[in-house]
Structure 1
Amino acid sequence: MPLTKLKNAERNQALLRLIVAGIAEVYTLVTAAFSSIPLADSLAVLIFIALFMVVSAGLLLHVVRRPGVYPWRRVLGMAFDYTGISFTMIMGGEYLLPIYVVLLWVTVGNGMRYGSQYLAVSTTLGLIALATIFYNTPYWHAHPYVIATVVLTTVIVPAYAQVLLSQTREAYEKADAANFARSRFLAQASHDLRQPIHSISLFTACLRDADLGPEERRMVDNIDKSLHSVSQLFRSILDSYTLDNGRVAARTDVIPVKSLIDAVALQNSEVARWAGVTLKVRASRHRVRVDPNLLSTMVQNLVSNAIKYGPGGSVLIGCRQRNGTLSIEVHDQGRGISDQHLPHVFDEFYRVRQVRDKDIEGVGLGLSIVQRIGTLMGLSVRIASRAGVGTVASIDGIPIEAGPPLTPTVAPVASTRLLAGLRVLLIEDDQNVLLATATLLEKWGCQVQTATTIPSDDVQCDLVISDFDLNTEASGADCIAYMRQLSGSNIPAMLITGHDTQRVEDAVGDPTIPVLSKPVRPAELRSMLTALKAGLPLDAMPAGAARPV
């Protein structure tokens, strides 16, 4: 069990002890008022429970201030519980016999919270408490069958709980092992599938720059469309799985929202052209405090949906200020969503389908991912739609950073002419990706030298592009560090990876080295190269493609 859950178990047990003691106090008051229990005994029990609650509050405070696993504290808490229960039942006699329920709860509860060893300890302490109660209570002497019943219950119920606990633990371990195996499979599949998609996208970019006829250009367009569909589907599945595993944490930063929206619009420009959609942007110049990668994924999914369901119309990405926060809205002129479908659009795998509807790509995960990421960042997502008119999707509650609106730095136009003569060292261990990338860079006018690991010869270059995962000897970050040391200068560099970009960024620990996620679109690669050559800070560039969460 994770340590955070164990800490919560300690705290919850201490809190429940205090609540149950309060309930016992109320029960004793009611019993004293409506029964013939001696007044002196009632007062003694009430005073004892009050003192018990004071000590319980102290234990709760200790757990809060010193969280963690302390076996001595757990056993001490159990002994404290059984001492309180024993004294209360002895003083109350037959009138407080129902307090036995608390004894049973303490016995089973400790085992379910802390495990089998503690269940055995609590059962033993419970039986000792019952023996003490029996020895000191005349009512129980006169009713031996009562003590026999409670003793059997105190043994049988925890024993059955132990069986359930063992079965649950076994099932949990199997599920955990299966989950780990699936994680490893998806991580490896992610890398292995991104490689060919990445290389195909670069090869098609090379074809697009060639002297093609109209028919051949249409074929390249169709390849790009199919590749984009596969990439989007793959990204959605990975995003959903990553969210399911709770491995996503928001990392807030202050960014100009316009650069993020412009990047998403640029990323979707080709898709919009294929769908006959006019893509418009009306972005705010405010700075916002968000996780840029997660927000970019949210906006990307909304824009992708708008283009998918509104072909032939126009899609507007805009901003609206509400109650001191910013909303990003995506408007489309598609067919809209009827009232019967609207409540279900955030459900996983739910797709709005009409009778004799044409097939639309996707598996129905986009809006579910948007809502889940929004919840993670404390943002809300709304959908408003009118059938036959269009749909508006809105991300609300984005915190605006104080200060005057920004005038974004204008990045240079990502023209291939600006890259002419750029000496690039390309390091990649996959031959197909190496060939595709080198061919494309050379078409852009770059002078390319290639390697599959750290070069053994002295290489003169202006910029380094490296895959992060190369071989067991060195990583892309090692190659960049070596080249910088060799040249004695801080050579501009970038990393490309088929794995989790956040993990790679954390491993590199250098904010001046951008990390791009495969498959990298040629326009994104060209823009980043242009920015690095011009020496612009990375935050002056649009963020490029939305990364998988």
Structure 2
Amino acid sequence: MFRKRKRALRTSLPAVPAGREQYDTERAQAMVRIILTPLFGSYITAITFLDGFQSTSLNAVAAYFAAYMPVSFFLYWWIIRKPGAFIRRRALSMGGDYTAITFGMSIGGAALLPVYSALLWVTVGNGLRFGVRYLVVSTLLALLSLAVTTYFNSFWSENPYVTLTLVMTTILVPAYIYALLKKVHESSIAAQEANLAKSRFLAQASHDLRQPIHAISLFTACLRDTGLNREQKQMVENIDRSLHSVSGLFRSLLDISTLDSGKVTPHFEIVAVQDVIDEVLTQNANRTEWSGTTFKVVRTRLHVRTDAAVLTTILQNIVSNALKYAPGSQVLIGCRRHRYGLSIEVHDRGEGIAEEHLPLLFDEFYQVRERGDRDIEGVGLGLAIVKRLAHLMSLRVSIRSVRGRGTSVRIAGLPMVSTPERIRRVKPDRFASPLEGLRVLLVEDDEDVLLATATLLRKWGCVVQAETGAELSVAPCDLVVTDFDLGGGIVGADFIREVRRQAGRDIPAIVMTGHDENRVREELGQQDIPILSKPVRPSELRSTMIALSVGRERNRQAQAAV
């Protein structure tokens, strides 16, 4: 999950979805122009033909609309080439539309009265697609168009009631649209506020509940090393398995709330696909053993340009579903080359999913439930997270399933690259060196978590200075392990900086937190400090500490050699 990445996703406002929405509205309005221009051009040509080409004004209007058709296609091409919201381009488009319509109605006489429908269509379309301000401006331009038409067109000036009807229609229809848009806007704001409130609740609930689960997990690890008999070890194993399921639920809640905030932006780099697959299998090693599932991996040497952390999370959720819904079966993981890139595929031989459930699998909290089914852990957020992350990365995730034969999931659209000299490693090398004698400064505001962590570290041979707050006398240490929130307005980032200042060197540090990793990484401002999300598995904490301590020792030896 997100806790496994060695650097955080960079955060920003959600520019990609907004840009996509602007692109669609611009293009849709341009498509309307392409449809209307030849439609009314054909109508005018037909009227001119029936008139025997005797009317100079009709001939002029027909020629004008014919000349405007290339302009319509040019605007459409421009929008495709450079999507986005450009006010000057919108102004140019609106000016061209109203000029063409006004010209046709002004000199076309009674025969071109139907062109008014295009005027109303363009006015309403600008408002619905671009917002209330554009609706007001479009309405004013439409009224100006009617005034110019009335001045030059004798039919309009001689039939004031027809003109008044069209003027009232031009005012009342946009006014009604304006009222509807305000209602929609208010409802949208209310829905967004409710969604943000839900996300804040999920994040806070996840953070608060993760603390005791984290402490229980550490106490369980301590208990495992106290000389238990076989039956007692099995009980501890069962407790650890249940804690693993609960911690997975909390990570899902935190992930979905982070995505709902709209502050996740992928960071693309060249990644070895096999590293991602190996990392996911390592994360699920215990669950694989518990479920009796076997993995068959078709290894690959291919590389793609992607965000390693996001891709790992997508694949992790898919593999997690295979472990839950196809226990005891064989799961195949491999890659395929396609015309538009590379795909990663996961095939299991489970019971499969009925066809009626497939369209709903990516909905939040949706779980396949049929009469007599066994209970499955989780709340149905895994594939919802996969869908959002895939959209963020412009990937396509599809599911095929046949009852009794299994399920296949494909992650498609990964852009392949040639093998580089240097690539992003998903996981640092693991070391098996002991932690005997490592001096650890441990800071945690929760006393239960502090006691559990200190006990576990001492069992590993560490010399631990355990503190509950940031106001302490810092003894010489080799490693800092700290919580993020320390009380008194102090966070772990502040404490690490202060310890390093007093020591006069960059002491290795680890941050354990129940908060969103993006927020913590932003506070730290450094990529070399691992962030472990609570509840932290003891094996994860141990391997991270060993990696940091061995790296420190290598640097010390290198400096001594120089």
State the TM-score, normalizing by the size of structure 2: 0.81
Specify which structure has the bigger relative contact order, considering alpha-carbon pairs within 8 angstroms and separated by 6 or more residues: 2
Matches within 5 A, 1:52-91: 81-91=97-107
* Range that drifts further, 362-371 or 200-209: 362-371
Q: Which of 199, 209, 233 does residue 249 from structure 2 map onto?
A: 233
Separation in 2, partners of 1:118, 1:342: 41
Matches within 5 A, 1:140-539: 140-243=156-259, 246-278=262-294, 283-311=299-327, 313-316=328-331, 318-323=333-338, 327-337=343-353, 345-346=361-362, 348-353=364-369, 355-383=371-399, 387-388=403-404, 390-403=406-419, 411-414=429-432, 418-471=434-487, 473-535=489-551
Separation in 1, partners of 2:455, 2:296: 33
- Give how far 1:495 is off: 1.8
Q: Residue 135 and residue 9 in structure 1: after superposition, are their counterparts in 2 closer, same or farther (change >3 A)?
A: farther
1:310–1:335 contact (8 Å) kept in structure 2 = yes
Separation in 2, partners of 1:10, 1:355: 45
| CA deviation vs aligned residue, 1:56-94 (integer Å, no higher than 9, x gap) | 789899999897676x98778656644442222011111
2:255–2:385 contact (8 Å) kept in structure 1 = yes
| CA deviation vs aligned residue, 1:211-265 (integer Å, no higher than 9, x gap) | 2233332332232222222222333344445445554433223334444333322
- Give how far 1:210 is off: 2.0
- Give how far 1:428 is off: 2.1
Separation in 2, partners of 1:285, 1:460: 45
What is the one-letter code of the residue matched to 2:429?
A: A
Are 1:107 and 2:156 counterparts? no
2:295–2:333 contact (8 Å) kept in structure 1 = no
Separation in 2, partners of 1:319, 1:67: 38
1:111–1:120 contact (8 Å) kept in structure 2 = yes
- Give how far 1:32 is off: 2.0
Q: Residue 368 and residue 5 in structure 1: after superposition, are their counterparts in 2 closer, same or farther (change >3 A)?
A: closer
What is the one-letter code of the residue matched to 1:157?
A: V
Separation in 2, partners of 1:388, 1:257: 30
- Give how far 1:308 is off: 1.8
Separation in 1, partners of 2:96, 2:404: 68
Separation in 1, partners of 2:20, 2:306: 28
What is the one-letter code of the residue matched to 2:485?
A: D
2:107–2:152 contact (8 Å) kept in structure 1 = no
* Range that drifts further, 160-169 or 205-214: 205-214
Separation in 1, partners of 2:140, 2:410: 59
1:37–1:92 contact (8 Å) kept in structure 2 = no
2:293–2:331 contact (8 Å) kept in structure 1 = no
| CA deviation vs aligned residue, 1:134-181 (integer Å, no higher than 9, x gap) | 232222244333223212211211121122122112212222222232
Alignment-derived partner of residue 560 in structure 2: none
* Range that drifts further, 521-530 or 331-340: 331-340
| CA deviation vs aligned residue, 1:356-396 (integer Å, no higher than 9, x gap) | 22222233343443344334334444555565454444434
Q: Residue 380 and residue 127 in structure 1: after superposition, are their counterparts in 2 closer, same or farther (change >3 A)?
A: closer
Q: Residue 62 and residue 390 in structure 1: after superposition, are their counterparts in 2 closer, same or farther (change >3 A)?
A: closer
SS, match of residue 487 in structure 2: coil
- Give how far 1:185 is off: 2.2
2:351–2:403 contact (8 Å) kept in structure 1 = yes
1:317–1:328 contact (8 Å) kept in structure 2 = no
Alignment-derived partner of residue 28 in structure 1: 44
What is the one-letter code of the residue matched to 2:460?
A: W
Separation in 2, partners of 1:116, 1:339: 43
Listed as ranges, the gaps of 5+ residues in structure 2 are: 1-13, 554-562
Separation in 2, partners of 1:470, 1:124: 59
Listed as ranges, the gaps of 5+ residues in structure 1 are: 538-549
What is the one-letter code of the residue matched to 1:322?
A: R
- Give how far 1:103 is off: 1.9
Separation in 2, partners of 1:494, 1:241: 24
Separation in 2, partners of 1:424, 1:182: 38
Give the RMSD, CA atoms, in angstroms: 3.8
SS, match of residue 226 in structure 2: coil
1:286–1:404 contact (8 Å) kept in structure 2 = no
1:283–1:317 contact (8 Å) kept in structure 2 = no
Separation in 1, partners of 2:124, 2:412: 45
What's the % identity of the aligned pairs?
A: 48
2:22–2:83 contact (8 Å) kept in structure 1 = no
* Range that drifts further, 527-536 or 212-221: 212-221
1:86–1:130 contact (8 Å) kept in structure 2 = yes
- Give how far 1:6 is off: 9.2
1:310–1:332 contact (8 Å) kept in structure 2 = yes
Q: Residue 317 and residue 401 in structure 1: after superposition, are their counterparts in 2 closer, same or farther (change >3 A)?
A: farther
What is the one-letter code of the residue matched to 2:196?
A: F
Q: Residue 11 and residue 530 in structure 1: after superposition, are their counterparts in 2 closer, same or farther (change >3 A)?
A: same
| CA deviation vs aligned residue, 1:396-430 (integer Å, no higher than 9, x gap) | 45444423799999934446xx1111111112222
Q: Residue 435 and residue 179 in structure 1: after superposition, are their counterparts in 2 closer, same or farther (change >3 A)?
A: same
State the TM-score, normalizing by the size of structure 1: 0.83
| CA deviation vs aligned residue, 1:258-278 (integer Å, no higher than 9, x gap) | 443333223222222322334
What is the one-letter code of the residue matched to 1:486?
A: Q
Q: Residue 23 and residue 498 in structure 1: after superposition, are their counterparts in 2 closer, same or farther (change >3 A)?
A: farther
Q: Residue 173 and residue 46 in structure 1: after superposition, are their counterparts in 2 closer, same or farther (change >3 A)?
A: same
Separation in 1, partners of 2:133, 2:387: 42
| CA deviation vs aligned residue, 1:428-468 (integer Å, no higher than 9, x gap) | 22222222222211111111112344454242111111223
Separation in 2, partners of 1:80, 1:526: 68
SS, match of residue 494 in structure 1: strand
2:332–2:347 contact (8 Å) kept in structure 1 = yes
What is the one-letter code of the residue matched to 1:411?
A: D
Q: Residue 128 and residue 464 in structure 1: after superposition, are their counterparts in 2 closer, same or farther (change >3 A)?
A: same
Alignment-derived partner of residue 9 in structure 2: none
Separation in 2, partners of 1:285, 1:73: 47
Instruction: Provide the aligned length of Structure 1 versus Structure 2.
Output: 533
What is the one-letter code of the residue matched to 2:449?
A: V
Q: Residue 279 and residue 448 in structure 1: after superposition, are their counterparts in 2 closer, same or farther (change >3 A)?
A: farther
1:240–1:365 contact (8 Å) kept in structure 2 = yes
